[in-house]
Amino acid sequence: MKKWICVLGLVGVVALMSGCYTMPNAPVMAPIVVDEKGPVAGFSNDTAATKVGKAEAEGILIFATGDASIQAAANNGGISEIHHVDSEVLNVLGIYSRNQTIVYGE
């Protein structure tokens, strides 16, 4: 019985250390808390950034839901021409995570 507990504990540690619980698009990783904002894309056009649209996806342990796509954020903000896109990532110990996409445009 002790052998199985040790094996399961080792598998858990390897899974956590492998980075499989972290957000893939965070520019910098941290083992405890990731709370970052960063760019996703910018466009060189004559579009002004007068409107803002946001979309997000959240996860708790093994359950995740939401639509953090650029299209969803643009629709939420009533944006038809995109100026630039930013992202906000929050991850706490791999237990809770949130990815928010922010679209600017007109």
The full 3-state SS of 6-33, as one line of letters, equals: HHHHHHHHHHHHCCCCCCCCCCCCCCCE
Domain residue extents for the chain: 22-105
pTM attached to this predicted model: 0.68
The CB density around residue 54, as the number of other CB atoms within 10 Å, is 15
Amino acid at 90: L
pLDDT tens digits, residue range 27-83?
555 667 777 777 787 776 777 788 999 999 999 988 889 999 999 999 999 999 899
Residue 89 burial by CB count (10 A; 0-12/13-18/19+): exposed, middle or buried?
Answer: buried
Indicate if the pLDDT at residue 84 is higher than 80.
Answer: yes
Residue with tokens 């996860």, as numbered in its chain: 59
